[in-house]
Structure 1
């Protein structure tokens, strides 16, 4: 489950500050914006103080029944292994996958489920307990070789944020393609004539190309594709775009982390966001609404994705004998970095 350290990392404050704010320490000196950011981050990560947890403990059995019609007789006997595609250091720089992990840990803690974490780089040494687990949750994007290795060890797999085995295993996803269609359609509707894309070679890029080509505003030189989802990749790509004679008027950053790097490159040159260049991201990480200007982005639900993966594992252990895909929704968060002339409320 989420810890005070996780909240401090995402909110950019000390752990002691988080503790004092969440426990309503009247003597702490902290700005209202910082206090609100801490509380909002805690809420998004599903963190609760010990006092709050005691209040909700008596409702756990009811909430379990509400989440799934498969009821496990003894949840304490359930043993789940989570395989992460990111290293711990890489995850620290990616709030999206941090939130997925927190969702998994929170749900397991809530129902006293034994949980063990490992990483794709450690598959050789983790084979024993992966084989013995009643379910294996695979978080992220794995090579086909790694997928086959995990599947050989344990065929009861739940993938989060990917679907490498299609209908052979459970999966928890959001519809990347539909979410990207909504973003790119808004970009086109805004009247953009030089839209740019920064991200990976995947569904968001394909949607961007298809829709902007149909609208007659596609320029291949304005698509910056890399293997990395990080601040630095966003910064480097945006720097290259700003060195062009004609700079973009709208940038679709495939993640909010990339958008942070995009902001840095633009603002280093004293270019105004959104007057000269508009920016839209995807994920709605806690920092998105604290950027200047605040970031318009597509809100996803990674914590709930992690929780849903545990629910699928519970169902499998309780007797479900068919495969299931859980598809979570998304929501456009309209802020200052990008807007239509008449954007939705």
Structure 2
């Protein structure tokens, strides 16, 4: 490694003068020719300043951990591990994060939902955070107070100073509803959760609001078609198979019954399949189904489930890319929307005109 002393000897100046020139000290009184000679000699000898060496060994600006190694990236999930494993969509988001971190040679640490974020030593060692899903307002405040770079994945927290990446579920819901209406369905039920009724939630649920807005715009909103009795169920585990089963049973008691049910996610749709089949009804002849996420199992249901594909893995990958950009010096905010694509299958009639 070339030293300041060697450059100083070659140019005929002191080591201190070389240091001040290479660190762009504008207060140094030195002739322009001598300054240029120092710079050219340093370049010819391939000298690297400590700042350059640090950037080369730590290209994303991650603060070192107490051991001196590059600080890891923390993944802060709103689901417990067992709940995440029950939802292939969120598994996909995490796999996208892990794959991209591996490509960038970034270490990952995971912060469980149940941990006290303020006291988490694991979180305190992180150089940046990727926050997944719908956390409470109190949790969001704790995360922001950490003063670390944060990227929100699968959520828009409505915070102008923080990056986020997600799919627009409101627009996706409108696309599905337009398609179902085009296919001739008139009584469209909905099962899911009223995210906007949870006063402790940091964001609202785009699917529910979009469903109501779509019907109200057409003057067709009927609150009975939104499974009664589930309004207060805003827990993260509310979108499970058993909840879809129970809410579908409630809708099947209506007279007339909905001719199609829109499910908030594929797990709920699988529960709806069971409820419909136990009632002696056929899908899609007696009642049709459509859903969100397009997890792999949807293609193997009988009949295959129509579902809006939300690219969870791409959301995870993009979250890492955004965080790397922040750590590399980007000083403005990005909000990235990843497009969705509807996969029409046998669980309902396809639209006769293109979705709008």
Asked if Structure 1 and Structure 2 have the same fold, meaning a TM-score greater than 0.5 normalized by the shorter chain, the answer is yes
**Alpha carbons 2:242, 2:268 under 8 Å: kept:** yes
* Higher alpha-carbon deviation: 258-267 or 186-195: 186-195
Work out which of the residue numbers 197, 212, 217 in structure 2 matches 1:214: 217
The equivalent residue for 1:279 is 289
Question: TM-score under structure 1 normalisation?
Answer: 0.75
The change in CA–CA distance for 1:300 and 1:180 in structure 2 (over 3 A counts) is same
Equivalences for residues 249-288 of structure 1 within 5 A: 249-288=259-298
Alpha-carbon distance between aligned partners in 1 of 2:109 and 2:299, rounded to the nearest angstrom: 34
- Indicate the RMSD between aligned Cα atoms, in angstroms: 2.2
Is 1:303 matched up with 2:295? no
CA apart distance, 1:306: 0.6
Alpha-carbon distance between aligned partners in 2 of 1:344 and 1:126, rounded to the nearest angstrom: 52
Alpha-carbon distance between aligned partners in 2 of 1:341 and 1:326, rounded to the nearest angstrom: 29
* Higher alpha-carbon deviation: 198-207 or 256-265: 198-207
Is 1:342 matched up with 2:327? no
CA apart distance, 1:109: 1.6
**Alpha carbons 1:295, 1:335 under 8 Å: kept:** yes
Work out which of the residue numbers 195, 207, 210 in structure 1 matches 2:188: 195
Equivalences for residues 307-326 of structure 1 within 5 A: 307-326=317-336
Question: TM-score under structure 2 normalisation?
Answer: 0.73
- Which digits, 9 at most, give the CA deviation of each residue in 1:148-202, with x for residues without a partner? 1111123411111112242121101111111111011112222222210111222
Equivalences for residues 1-345 of structure 1 within 5 A: 74=59, 77=70, 79-124=72-117, 127-201=120-194, 202-224=205-227, 225=230, 226-227=233-234, 228-340=238-350, 342=352
Alpha-carbon distance between aligned partners in 2 of 1:293 and 1:174, rounded to the nearest angstrom: 27
- Which digits, 9 at most, give the CA deviation of each residue in 1:62-104, with x for residues without a partner? xxxxxxxxx9963683521111110001111111111111111
The change in CA–CA distance for 1:337 and 1:344 in structure 2 (over 3 A counts) is farther
CA apart distance, 1:116: 0.4
The change in CA–CA distance for 1:295 and 1:155 in structure 2 (over 3 A counts) is same
Structure 1 residues not aligned, in runs of 5+ = 1-70
Alpha-carbon distance between aligned partners in 2 of 1:338 and 1:282, rounded to the nearest angstrom: 14
- Which digits, 9 at most, give the CA deviation of each residue in 1:228-255, with x for residues without a partner? 1110110000011112232110100011
* Higher alpha-carbon deviation: 190-199 or 171-180: 190-199
The change in CA–CA distance for 1:185 and 1:122 in structure 2 (over 3 A counts) is same
**Alpha carbons 1:238, 1:265 under 8 Å: kept:** yes
**Alpha carbons 1:131, 1:154 under 8 Å: kept:** no
Moved over 6 A (4+): none
Structure 2 residues not aligned, in runs of 5+ = 1-55, 61-68, 195-204
**Alpha carbons 2:117, 2:143 under 8 Å: kept:** no
SS at match of 1:121: coil
* Higher alpha-carbon deviation: 174-183 or 164-173: 164-173
The equivalent residue for 2:53 is none
Tell me which protein shows more helix as a share of its residues.
Answer: 1
CA apart distance, 1:257: 0.9
The change in CA–CA distance for 1:125 and 1:153 in structure 2 (over 3 A counts) is closer
Alpha-carbon distance between aligned partners in 2 of 1:126 and 1:106, rounded to the nearest angstrom: 28
Alpha-carbon distance between aligned partners in 2 of 1:165 and 1:247, rounded to the nearest angstrom: 37
